[in-house]
Structure 1
């Protein structure tokens, strides 16, 4: 073990004294400093770097480079002086809780199903783990229960530095072939894994292990999870959201799913009624539109893309225009939505021509194209008639 890496010997170090060996400017306009010893953990193994201060100067990031721990500083610090490093302990401890919780869950997945952890990332909002095998929701809940039993048991988290002969006879998880001194993190009953990260001393400190989502990913699954304080904050925020929703729905929190389902059904019924009303409106409009063999434009108020498309289709199907253009918007905003329909001309060509001339966006198929255009009603009308007349 490197005695100068204090985060290994004393992972609970919150502050430390060191000598500044060097400080040089970086290409980013910040400064890079190396100390004779450090408590700041460098990014690696899926665990983010520590932050904090050194003599009051912000430590922005920490990385290992050519065997040295390089600290990115917001300001320069004089080489040769003694300095005090102070670690952002809340951030460090959150990461320790997440990392130990991840080991517990990954170890149990490997133990029960033989799957390997092939991807691991500690993000700002969640921890994600990728496994090279598929799990069911029931299996995940079983694993979550067992993982929390390990937490409740409050067993010690052991850090070992086995000799070569000992390592040969030791079964442990590792994502790659390792050389040199191997650091092993063992959690009795859950996991034995090669790891360079920081961990809590006993599993009880993890607090809770809570899985959040599971999706199929690259032939296996990706699981998101949170542990400890971050899991508590996540639950608190989710409960606040659920209470807000329950207030909107005038329903008890426990009845929110049923209230949402009822609201969805009512919304679908309303959509059906609105759709029927639009169909009646379309029929009334069609009844007063004469047949036409040329391009015909229609400017309508309050139509959404679905209604634009439906109306344009009915118009050309009932011979109210060889090419029909339906537009909805206003000159004040200078923006109109459009639907172009025809069974006799390529609407992709017309849509592209109009988009090019009127800063438009959109497209579609040969018979129907939709999008938006910038301009006034008269500008759009003239461009439509001109371009449609070419087809």
Structure 2
């Protein structure tokens, strides 16, 4: 086993370094490189690994296996050669902000409510945190306010390696029982946690914490959150969306919710009017086909529910089978077909096979869609 000096623990802000290639192992896809020292953080503790370059080779991921730090690259590196390593700093600092913000949120929740962080994942968009207790919207708002106030205090983050006796005296968070050397990360007055990840050295570098959403999950909740630059990106996105909405609704940006409510109310009234007009049309259509036997009807612009209602209305007067088709925007047709006391199962099966359709329902009433032209549909029914 080759032991690599972990530069990311000595200086978390080290972006570039020079190291010697100790081993280069060919893999199924690319190579696994071991260096005598490295600033690349391996995946672990809920935090994704660093990426970057070693010379002209891309480092796509980094893992620790059986004590060895493996850098997975797209090119082979010569053993014994000196190589310049560069980590993707924008990505690393983002992950440091996210990880540090999560510590402060989990620490304050643990302090105020006694809940434990039982699951943690840092995605490319949001962080998800699973907690073994319930929180309502008011509590989350208070937590968000308090976390940000603590962030802006800009306190120094302290990292220690206490011995076994010292560790017994420290009240720290950990998801599992730990043995050997333990790395304790302390956010003064907020959180003390055993953690192997990378963090900012002062809380002010987190910038801001935003709690986005919460849903019930198992016996607790799953919370989504973002920190740092992701908050700025999120606010810019929300602001741009609200700007577009305000322009489309001719409303001031602080009045878009009211404008949307008025639009919803108007839409509700219009839907009611359309529904009443459709009912009148369907009654007239049913009367038109009274006693006509089996009928085939094509109507433009009907939603699936309206197709169903029209077929139901006509089948009750025509004294035969009624089939209603309405064209979709892509050229296909939605359909509904019914017959009082009829059994349309075999006929529907044959129609779907002939017209590239799908659908079904009760023996006397079926719904679905077909990928066919109006002429093809008419030809099938004529046969």
Interval containing the TM-score (normalised by the shorter chain): over 0.9
What's 2:228 paired with? Answer: 228
Aligned residues: 381
Q: 1:240-319 residue pairs with structure 2 within 5 A? A: 240-291=240-291, 295-316=294-315, 318-319=316-317
- Distance in 2 (alpha carbons) for counterparts of 1:344 and 1:19: 84
Structure 1 246/170 Cα, relative in aligned 2: closer, same or farther at 3 Å?
A: same
- Distance in 2 (alpha carbons) for counterparts of 1:357 and 1:321: 26
What's 2:24 paired with? Answer: 23
Structure 1 206/270 Cα, relative in aligned 2: closer, same or farther at 3 Å?
A: same
Structure 1 250/154 Cα, relative in aligned 2: closer, same or farther at 3 Å?
A: same
Q: 1:1-391 residue pairs with structure 2 within 5 A? A: 4-28=5-29, 30-291=30-291, 295-316=294-315, 318-329=316-327, 335-345=332-342, 351-365=348-362, 368-381=365-378, 383=380
Residues 49 and 61 in structure 1, CA contact (< 8 A), matched pair in contact too:
yes
Structure 1 221/83 Cα, relative in aligned 2: closer, same or farther at 3 Å?
A: same
- Distance in 1 (alpha carbons) for counterparts of 2:224 and 2:60: 26
- Distance in 1 (alpha carbons) for counterparts of 2:339 and 2:211: 52
Query: Secondary structure in 1 aligned to 2:226?
Result: strand
Query: Secondary structure in 2 aligned to 1:153?
Result: coil
Structure 1 102/333 Cα, relative in aligned 2: closer, same or farther at 3 Å?
A: closer
Structure 1 85/365 Cα, relative in aligned 2: closer, same or farther at 3 Å?
A: farther
1:291-339: per-residue Cα shift (whole Å, max 9, x none)? Answer: 256x4322222222121011011122x2324432211128x96521111
Larger mean CA deviation between 222-231 and 254-263 belongs to 222-231
Structure 1 44/333 Cα, relative in aligned 2: closer, same or farther at 3 Å?
A: closer
Q: State the TM-score, normalizing by the size of structure 1.
A: 0.91
- Distance in 2 (alpha carbons) for counterparts of 1:65 and 1:3: 12
- Distance in 2 (alpha carbons) for counterparts of 1:188 and 1:347: 73
1:260-282: per-residue Cα shift (whole Å, max 9, x none)? Answer: 00011111111111112222221
Q: Cα offset for 1:51?
A: 1.0
Q: Cα offset for 1:97?
A: 0.6
Larger mean CA deviation between 295-304 and 44-53 belongs to 295-304
1:63-121: per-residue Cα shift (whole Å, max 9, x none)? Answer: 11221111111222212101110111111001001100000000111111111111111
Q: Cα offset for 1:341?
A: 2.8
Structure 1 368/108 Cα, relative in aligned 2: closer, same or farther at 3 Å?
A: farther
Structure 1 106/351 Cα, relative in aligned 2: closer, same or farther at 3 Å?
A: farther
- Distance in 1 (alpha carbons) for counterparts of 2:117 and 2:209: 17
- Distance in 1 (alpha carbons) for counterparts of 2:63 and 2:103: 23
Residues 322 and 344 in structure 1, CA contact (< 8 A), matched pair in contact too:
no
Residues 297 and 324 in structure 1, CA contact (< 8 A), matched pair in contact too:
yes
| Aligned alpha-carbon RMSD (Å) | 2.1
- Distance in 2 (alpha carbons) for counterparts of 1:216 and 1:346: 45
Q: List gaps (5 residues or longer) in structure 2.
A: none
What's 1:389 paired with? Answer: none
Query: Secondary structure in 1 aligned to 2:370?
Result: strand
Structure 1 66/337 Cα, relative in aligned 2: closer, same or farther at 3 Å?
A: same
- Distance in 2 (alpha carbons) for counterparts of 1:113 and 1:383: 68
Larger mean CA deviation between 340-349 and 320-329 belongs to 340-349
Q: Cα offset for 1:55?
A: 0.8
Q: Cα offset for 1:350?
A: 5.1
- Distance in 2 (alpha carbons) for counterparts of 1:219 and 1:357: 51
Structure 1 134/352 Cα, relative in aligned 2: closer, same or farther at 3 Å?
A: farther
Structure 1 31/275 Cα, relative in aligned 2: closer, same or farther at 3 Å?
A: same
Residues 126 and 225 in structure 1, CA contact (< 8 A), matched pair in contact too:
yes
1:219-276: per-residue Cα shift (whole Å, max 9, x none)? Answer: 2111111111111111111111111111111101100100000011111111111112
Query: Secondary structure in 1 aligned to 2:150?
Result: helix
1:20-46: per-residue Cα shift (whole Å, max 9, x none)? Answer: 112233213x22211111111111111
